[in-house]
């Protein structure tokens, strides 16, 4: 067996053992619970900082980023609703193809 | 021969020039944009010169958080290209990249409205008004939920590695149920769930994978075909997409934490989405070495569906390799093409 093949054999054995150890650790509540808690605490701080800045802008009577993204989302919702109505109209027109000939007969 | 002590010139040349190689060509099959709405697009792949041989189009629904071109990876290694050559009419949803405003996008809007519209628009190209719906990973969760709501426009549904039940022993399911993980705080602070965080979580499933890939590259660096394929997959694997905030919150709380879909409690648009309501021909494909979607997560789909024509394939391979690798081109792709042809 070549030195490279020997190395690969050793590497894959190490890799498998390390992956199993890593999985054991990352499944343990003693490890993941504090990590998740730390992550949650850090984002709570980010949220508090953003809300404080937003409140200040609002008190100054200025539109905030929250106002902007919310408005843009509502615009997207309106466009989706328009798509819904266009589909409904097209379906209705397809279901009533005899409307035009009846008008011509009169 | 691939021995480090007697490296051939080609291997050394390829390794040294690797950072300067031209970017791999990914997602190259020509498409026509059928519909756009918010960030998503419905795309139709250009048919083969002699036209489609089958009348029922296939609509592919990839994961919301990975790029659609995994199914059209590169010329010569593309599931889409394979199907087009066989005479299928192939459509796909490109979910696009969410903006900050999409933090308010709901799970219902994505699955019922957006995907529902894609299905109807695709079905309009079919004489029978039906489509073969195919979902991959999170896309398969979406398609399974949609089929459970209303499968009247579905000629069939194929689910590749579908996460349906989340009480499985997988690490992702376990992490999402950690009591100290405050999902609301994460979404309130970040807006959309950052792709970097999700990518880190996937890396943590097997942290040694990066080193394994490096050994693989060292081992086969003299093989230009291998290197191009590897770089194309890595391009896709690192081209991730953030998860719209409210959609992510709904998905985790209702599916991961409460397991509402598998246990029959999920409703969308005020209607129940019950696995038992699926009656269209159904095929679920799972992969034996899939560390992202354990088989236990997928089994309830076929077990509970009421379809008379249903099957479960359990194939060797991992979550991505089994769908786009060399073996897929010889087994999975022809198998799926034949399955769809029989149900045209």
- Taking the Cβ of residue B171 and every Cβ of chain A, the question of whether any pair is shorter than 8 Å is answered with yes
Share of chain A residues as helix, strand and coil, in percent rounded to the nearest 5? 90, 0, 10
A54 compared with B147, residue with greater pLDDT = B147
What rounded mean pLDDT belongs to chain A? 89
* β-bridge pairing B154-160 and B282-287: parallel
Query: CA B230: distance to chain centroid?
Result: 18
pTM recorded for the entire structure: 0.91
B273 compared with A99, residue with greater pLDDT = B273
Phi, psi of B258 (to 5 degrees): -95, -15
Q: Do A69 and B191 touch (CB under 8 A)?
A: yes
Gap between the terminal Cα atoms of chain B:
48
pLDDT tens for B59-92 read 999 999 999 999 999 999 999 999 999 999 999 9
Q: Cβ neighbours of residue A42 under 8 Å, at least 6 residues apart?
A: none
**Whether the predicted pLDDT of A60 surpasses 50:** yes
- Rounded to an integer, the average pLDDT of B183-203 is 93
Min Cα–Cα distance to chain A from B50, Å: 30
Nearest by CB to A69, from B4, B100, B185: name it: B100
Phi, psi of B338 (to 5 degrees): -65, -40
- Number of helical H runs and strand E runs in chain A: 4, 0
- Number of helical H runs and strand E runs in chain B: 15, 10
pLDDT tens for B32-57 read 999 999 999 999 999 999 999 999 99
Task: Write out the two tokens for B44.
Answer: 């139709």
- Asked if residue B284 lies in contact with residue B307, where contact means CB atoms within 8 angstroms, the answer is no
- Rounded to an integer, the average pLDDT of A73-97 is 93
Total Cβ atoms within 10 A of residue B211: 13
**Whether the predicted pLDDT of A100 surpasses 70:** no
**Whether the predicted pLDDT of A52 surpasses 50:** yes
Measured between beta carbons, which residues in chain A are less than 8 angstroms from residue B5?
Answer: 2-4
Instruction: List A residues 29-88 in contact with B (Cβ-Cβ < 8 A).
Output: 29, 32-34, 36-37, 39-40, 43-44, 46-47, 50, 65, 69-70, 72-73, 76-77, 79-80, 83-84, 87
Min Cα–Cα distance to chain A from B331, Å: 27
- In terms of C-beta density within 10 A (0-12 exposed, 13-18 middle, 19 or more buried), how is residue A93 classed? exposed
Domains, chain B, in order of start with CATH, read: 4-341 (3.40.50.1820)
Total Cβ atoms within 10 A of residue A42: 13
The pLDDT score that the predictor gives to residue B286 is 96
Nearest by CB to A76, from B38, B174, B175: name it: B38
The pLDDT score that the predictor gives to residue A105 is 42
Q: What is the ipTM of this complex?
A: 0.86
Measured between beta carbons, which residues in chain B are less than 8 angstroms from residue A15?
Answer: 208, 211-212
């Amino acid at each position: 067996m070549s030195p490279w093949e020997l190395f690969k054999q050793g590497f894959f054995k190490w890799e498998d053992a390390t992956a199993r150890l890593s999985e054991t650790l990352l499944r343990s509540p003693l490890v993941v619970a504090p990590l998740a808690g730390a992550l949650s605490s850090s984002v709570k701080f980010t949220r508090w900082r953003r809300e404080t800045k937003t409140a200040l802008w609002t008190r100054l009577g200025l539109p905030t980023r929250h106002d902007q993204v919310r408005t843009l989302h509502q615009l997207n919702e309106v466009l989706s609703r328009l798509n819904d109505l266009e589909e409904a109209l097209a379906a209705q027109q397809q279901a009533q193809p005899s409307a035009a000939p009846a008008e011509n007969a009169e | 021969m691939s021995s480090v002590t007697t490296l051939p010139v080609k291997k050394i040349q390829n390794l040294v020039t690797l950072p300067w190689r031209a970017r791999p060509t990914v997602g190259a099959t020509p498409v026509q944009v059928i519909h756009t709405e918010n960030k998503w697009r419905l795309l139709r792949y250009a048919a083969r010169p002699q036209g489609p041989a089958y009348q029922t189009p296939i609509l592919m629904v990839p994961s919301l958080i990975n790029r659609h071109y995994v199914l059209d990876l590169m010329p010569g290694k593309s599931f889409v290209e394979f199907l087009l050559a066989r005479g299928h009419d192939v459509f796909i949803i490109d979910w696009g990249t969410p903006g900050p405003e999409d933090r308010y996008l709901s799970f219902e809007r994505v699955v019922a409205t957006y995907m529902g519209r894609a299905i109807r628009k695709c079905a309009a190209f079919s004489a029978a008004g039906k489509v073969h719906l195919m979902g991959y990973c999170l896309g398969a969760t979406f398609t399974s939920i949609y089929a459970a709501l209303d499968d009247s426009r579905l000629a069939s549904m194929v689910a590749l590695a579908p996460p349906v039940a989340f009480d499985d022993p997988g690490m992702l399911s376990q992490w999402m149920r950690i009591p100290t993980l405050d999902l609301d705080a994460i979404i309130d602070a970040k807006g959309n769930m950052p792709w970097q965080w999700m990518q880190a979580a996937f890396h943590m499933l097997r942290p040694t994978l990066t080193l394994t890939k490096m050994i693989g590259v060292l081992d086969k660096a003299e093989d230009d075909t291998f290197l191009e394929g590897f770089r194309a997959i890595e391009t896709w694997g690192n081209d991730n997409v953030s998860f719209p905030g409210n959609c992510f919150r709904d998905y985790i709380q209702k599916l991961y934490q409460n397991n509402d879909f598998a246990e029959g409690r999920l409703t969308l648009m005020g209607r129940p989405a019950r696995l038992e309501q699926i009656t269209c021909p159904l095929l679920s494909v799972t992969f034996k070495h899939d560390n992202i979607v354990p088989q236990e997560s997928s089994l309830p789909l076929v077990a509970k569906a009421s379809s008379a024509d249903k099957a479960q394939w359990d194939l060797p391979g991992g979550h991505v390799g089994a769908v786009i690798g060399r073996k897929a081109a010889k087994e999975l792709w022809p198998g799926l093409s034949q399955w769809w042809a029989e149900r045209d």
